[in-house]
């Protein structure tokens, strides 16, 4: 009986070493995002590709991301004339992400670069219109929760530092993103 227990323990141990854990290599995600600056609310999309998947507990990814924010402001001018301004902000970038799997929760952090485009368009000549595009770098951190092997909600906070802001009055933008990743 004692030898049978040692054989079972040995087989279980050998199988655990011989089999590789299947990790997700790709991730596609969508998020609702809230910024410190106007426009405050928007949506994001991300694609992640796992790299160096053989490391235990550590998850390294490369991420491409896109975000879009929009707001329309209605303005009353003199003589009862109404006008509107549309503010569109979108950005895209690349980032390196490192996470540590701790049970169902995976905290992560990353650094990246990107480009942001700010466009203010007015439908009346007395309102100002302009466009500006800026390069930025960002740092972020958050956590991903495993509900199912392929379904992972996340929360993330990102701080971006814009460069060469001429017409804009801010250069640091904080952003909270709440969303879901599909991993396969």
| Tokens linked to 60 | 């390294």
Residues 132-151 have pLDDT tens digits of 888 889 999 999 999 888 89
Domain-embedded: residue 83: yes
90 Cβ contact list (under 8 Å, min separation 6): 66, 67, 68, 69, 116, 117
pLDDT at position 29 is 96
d(CA 66, CA 69): 10
d(CA 92, CA 113): 9
Checking if the pLDDT of 96 tops 90, the result is yes
pLDDT at position 17 is 44
151 Cβ contact list (under 8 Å, min separation 6): 180, 181, 182, 183
Q: What sign has the CA pseudo-torsion 170, 174, 179, 183?
A: positive
The 8-class DSSP code of residue 21 comes to: P
d(CA 84, CA 124): 7
Checking if the pLDDT of 158 tops 90, the result is yes
CATH code of the domain in which 131 resides: 2.40.160.20
* Residues of the domain holding 30: 25-183
pLDDT at position 18 is 41
| Tokens linked to 8 | 């079972």
> What average pLDDT is seen over the chain?
82
Domain-embedded: residue 20: no
Domain-embedded: residue 1: no
Q: Are 101 and 114 in contact (CB under 8 A)?
A: no
Of residues 107 and 39, the one with the higher pLDDT is 107
Residues 15-67 have pLDDT tens digits of 444 434 445 689 999 999 999 888 899 999 999 999 876 777 788 999 999 99
Domain-embedded: residue 2: no
Domain count, the chain: 1
Checking if the pLDDT of 156 tops 80, the result is yes
Checking if the pLDDT of 81 tops 80, the result is no
Domain-embedded: residue 19: no
Q: What angle do CA 115, 121, 123 make, to 5 degrees?
A: 170
| Count of other CB atoms within 10 angstroms of residue 29 | 22
Q: Are 179 and 154 in contact (CB under 8 A)?
A: yes
- Quick check: helix, strand or coil at residue 4? helix
């Amino acid at each position: 009986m004692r030898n049978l227990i040692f054989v079972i323990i040995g087989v279980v141990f050998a199988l655990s070493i011989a089999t590789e854990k299947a990790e997700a290599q790709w991730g596609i995600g969508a998020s609702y995002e809230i910024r410190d600056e106007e426009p405050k609310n928007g949506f994001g999309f991300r694609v992640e590709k796992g790299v160096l998947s053989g490391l235990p507990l550590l998850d390294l990814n490369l991420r491409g991301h896109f975000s879009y924010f929009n707001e329309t402001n209605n303005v009353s001018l003199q003589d009862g004339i109404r006008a509107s301004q549309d503010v569109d902000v979108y950005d895209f970038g690349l980032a390196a992400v490192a996470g540590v799997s701790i049970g169902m929760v995976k905290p992560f952090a990353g650094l990246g670069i990107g480009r942001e485009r700010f466009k203010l368009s007015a439908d009346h000549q007395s309102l100002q219109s302009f466009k500006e595009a800026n390069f930025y770098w960002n740092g972020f951190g958050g956590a991903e929760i495993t509900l199912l092997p392929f379904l992972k909600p996340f929360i993330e906070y990102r701080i971006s530092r814009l460069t060469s802001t001429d017409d804009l009055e801010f250069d640091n933008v904080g952003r909270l993103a709440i969303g879901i990743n599909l991993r396969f």
